[in-house]
Amino acid sequence: GAVVSQHPSWVICKSGTSVKIECRSLDFQATTMFWYRQFPKQSLMLMATSNEGSKATYEQGVEKDKFLINHASLTLSTLTVTSAHPEDSSFYICSAQRGVIEQYFGPGTRLTVT
């Protein structure tokens, strides 16, 4: 099956700093990648859709200047949480789309902002 990796798997940062999370499709090219956020005991919430070579499409209520998404190649998308605050602490998950309907999930990145 297709493999999607995320790096780092967990990160702790201080309030006010920025954190970059990488999402890679290891064995296929993904024209579209998705970024999700999950709070404890809640379902995944779509933050943004990222297409290679173009600007990401953000869901309503997601600050695009705070959550910077770059889809630089067909195998790599990055999410940068800028000026992180404790309320940004969450589990961030990416998925990569292969073809029209196949979507594969990364293992997630747990961000803790102190």
Q: Which stretch binds another protein (CB under 8 A): 17-25, 60-68, 73-81, 104-112?
A: 104-112
Distance in Å, CB of 19 to another protein, minimum: 17
Residue 86 lies near another protein (rule: CB under 8 A): no
Residue selected from 47, 58, 84, 108 as contacting another protein according to rule CB under 8 A? 108
CB-based contact 20:111 (threshold 8 Å): no
Number of H helices, E strands in the chain: 0, 11
Number of residues that bind another protein (CB under 8 A): 23
Residue 102 lies near another protein (rule: CB under 8 A): yes
Q: Within positions 23 to 82, which residues make up the interface with another protein, using CB under 8 A? A: 32, 34, 38, 43-44, 46, 49
DSSP assignment of 46-84 equals: EEEEEETTSPPEEPTT--TTTEEEEEEETTEEEEEE-S-
**CA 52, CA 73: separation in Å to the nearest integer?**
6
| Helix or strand (DSSP H, E) at 112 | strand 109-113
Binding site for another protein (CB under 8 A): 1, 9, 32, 34, 38, 43-44, 46, 49, 91, 93, 95, 97, 100-108, 110
